[in-house]
Structure 1
């Protein structure tokens, strides 16, 4: 009697195409094919546009009536952009003023996180009806285990991927790109191969031909600092990284990171699909090109600090979370680091509130030495829909901030900002 063979592991990474922008184009189809960026303020701008053309349905509002990026003033960041705008170099997390220089003619639309979450829930519900083992990785991307799903092995998973793509498009009008591979690491890389609305299939035998020619940055987990260090050693492609022996990588990058790089370069990743993927915290941080001093570089640090808080708020609202514990991270010129945090009375996600509380955290940190890194974090997370007494844009009362800060040990809380 023959022993039945086990199915080959097939993991898919599904990424919605320019998700926020695509949702907005469902509302304003007359903007299709044009450079459009999403970011800045909330729906006030959109409401004014609708009021001005109240007699017209949304899809008939003239294109010329929409605000342009060149007219924007402020310190907001781009949440996402259509593919037409990306051709000009505009991308997510880019400052709006910088984006305006690259593509001044882009149409600017404000964010609508409630609508994005609505469509996020819809496409994920469709997926789990077809393939129940799904790992939620944010509002617009998921991992799916195709291994034992009917059709998951046919053509390496292409048949099932095509079925899911069609089901999502038929229900929502939105497109997505899917990469199917033996593991999560390769699947995520594969989902970028044929964007938008594409499918890419990778087998273990394809690593040398399809993966090794790619830049090291294509490996999820190799950031700009590690990439710069690799380039300093003459390593630019994944294939060049794979040529390095394990001991050299561990000596150069540390035991844990080096061992991970060794496996990643060979396409190895045994992480399972996680059905419970709620984050413990969400953070933003940046390293400086030169060390900065809290007093002498106050203006520059203030701008960076505000930008980090805005990016963190954007991440929270994009993923549908609010939090109660705001923290900061400082790394000094001598590579020592400190963290400070304050827990407030209720959940928040607004950039201004995060900035105010994070500023109080700064008052509890030593700032005599120059800084090489600054970070902001939000913990004690909860879904915005589940948070008691959470109302978007309802300001946190100064007395709440003062009391919680005093409880946390920051006695001089309301005497201004450091930067």
Structure 2
């Protein structure tokens, strides 16, 4: 066996949000639990010490599943599924509200634990990271007759560190590159370790469905199936020129290389965010005329939470944008570019008001969001000129009093 020049790991926390909730409610371990309810769905402890839980069957609204335990997934309930649809599949599943502050805390803990073992980390979100293990001591050591013993030992050390820091489990895929490692981390979930070399591609990767490759979305996946390519191996066996003819030069060539497990992307240890945003989907469609007080309150809260995000991440932004989704899934966006980067909820709120003046509210709203882009580090704002006086952010534009 020829060992690769690089060892890249993809670490994925197991049912992360749900697992954090099970730390809080260990009595629910092994049960079908769905995360995505409202605060009113929080468990209540009764006088006799027992707990009362909301059931999925009793939910009404337009909320979606944030995540679910593996027991709920066995019943067909998955992330991004509407809660009403999920209730048809698992009516007796327990419904819990999401607690993103807690999830962010555990995210920081598991990443810090990994960094103590392998510091070259690419952050890919709240519950997953890539890790370059190439230069980690011991990773190339054989253990007995197993040439992969060293890399497996490092993986176990990482998993143990994560468990000690958080009480949670994770799954790790380790291969020569990021593309294969992303696939490998799903092969032995939950709480698994999968180590693959290029020699394993025909037996472990090619039998998989085409959508298992990160980068093949629903449309491309459907087209591949329509063309008779159902597995990764089918793509690998297809002539490259034919793939290019069907999918274009860039994507066709990428499909050929991906099916053969080729990927030279490095682990990127740091990247600047393009923008920071907050949004919420309403339980029912809201009217700009009849629900103006509620909409104003929701927008105030979004701006406040976005300002907190900017402060925590030490950013300011020169562009403030809004996102509005009306009934019929019609989405409208508006942006306002400012002379001075903003950080405060009041300044964001004022810019939002300017954006809202350019929208016609002739339909009911189902989603509202606010975004700050064109980011700079907060330290740069200290050197900026004082901002011009602004109107009271609590006063709305004349044509839309709810905001």
TM over 0.5: yes
> Size of the alignment, in residue pairs?
337
Cα distance in 2 for partners of 1:103, 1:359 equals 42
Cα distance in 1 for partners of 2:223, 2:354 equals 31
Pairing 1:414–2:400 present:
yes
Q: Cα RMSD (Å) of the superposition?
A: 4.2
Q: 1:258 aligns with which of 236, 252, 262?
A: 252
CA gap 1:83/1:266 in 2 versus in 1, 3 angstroms? same
Pairing 1:180–2:174 present:
yes
Q: 1:380 aligns with which of 368, 373, 377?
A: 373
Q: Deviations over 1:333-389 (max 9, x none)?
A: xxxx997535697678xxxx9xx9899599489x9xxxxxx9989452889x99x9x
In the other structure, the counterpart of 2:59 is 72
Q: 2:109 aligns with which of 122, 140, 150?
A: 122
**Rg bigger for which structure?**
2
* Displacement of 1:326: 3.4
8 Å Cα contact 1:402-1:414 kept in structure 2: no
Pairing 1:225–2:213 present:
no
Instruction: Give the structure-1-normalised TM-score.
Output: 0.69
In the other structure, the counterpart of 1:198 is 192
8 Å Cα contact 2:210-2:221 kept in structure 1: yes
Structure 1 residues 12-411: aligned runs within 5 Å = 12-42=9-39, 44-46=40-42, 49=44, 52=46, 61-63=49-51, 65-154=52-141, 155=148, 157-281=151-275, 325-326=320-321, 340-342=334-336, 360=356, 363=359, 378=371, 380=373, 400=393
8 Å Cα contact 1:11-1:183 kept in structure 2: yes
SS in 2 for 1:78: coil
Cα distance in 2 for partners of 1:87, 1:14 equals 22
Cα distance in 1 for partners of 2:36, 2:20 equals 14
In the other structure, the counterpart of 1:290 is none
8 Å Cα contact 2:41-2:95 kept in structure 1: no
Structure 2: which 5+ residue stretches go unaligned?
142-147, 279-284, 286-297, 311-316, 326-330, 382-390
CA gap 1:241/1:136 in 2 versus in 1, 3 angstroms? same
CA gap 1:414/1:163 in 2 versus in 1, 3 angstroms? same
Instruction: Give the structure-2-normalised TM-score.
Output: 0.71
In the other structure, the counterpart of 2:7 is 10
